[in-house]
Amino acid sequence: MDEIRNETLRVAITSEPIDVGALHAEVGDAGAGAVLAFVGTVRNEKQGRNVTRIDYEAYAPMALKVLQRIGGEMLTRWPTRRAVLVHRVGTCNVGETSVALLVATPHRAEGFAALRHGIEAVKKDVPIWKKEHFEDGAVWVQEGS
């Protein structure tokens, strides 16, 4: 696992399955009234084609820096007390978690706003590529697709 961590933020790129329960425990904060999560999973269908798995690749040093920037934005634009952003690399089967963002905020509205910003920025900005495997072939796509 490649990661950057401080007292309020952890970002990581991992080839291991993402344990959302452990992330929830990690991000919890006594001053937070809300702990919220966005968990992205591999779905079994895209545009009428059956997905069998997705392979993710990343340039980890750059991906971590971009995740750190996004996490920093989440911490400064909203009253976010703690945040964790983790993206998977390697093979993810249907139903497995490929990305997880969790925040601890005083109130739910700020948490939802921070998460919305975070996942949209991850999809748009982080240098992660995915190869979608279908029953009849595979195709590489930019992560935000």
- Strand pairing class (137-142; 128-134): antiparallel
How far apart (Å, rounded) are the C-alpha atoms in residues 86 and 100? Answer: 5
Residue 43 has pLDDT above 70, yes or no: yes
Domain boundaries 2-136, CATH class: alpha beta
How many Cβ atoms sit within 10 Å of the Cβ of residue 136? 8
Residue 145 has pLDDT above 70, yes or no: no
- 145: CB partners within 8 A, 6+ apart: none
62 φ, ψ to 5°? Answer: -75, -40
Domain boundaries, the chain: 2-136
User: pTM score, two decimals?
Assistant: 0.94
How far apart (Å, rounded) are the C-alpha atoms in residues 118 and 124? Answer: 10
Q: Which residue, among 102, 119, 109, has the nearest Cα to 8 in the 3D structure?
A: 102
For the stretch 93-133, pLDDT in tens is: 999 999 999 999 999 999 999 999 999 999 999 999 999 99
Residue found under tokens 């925040």: 103
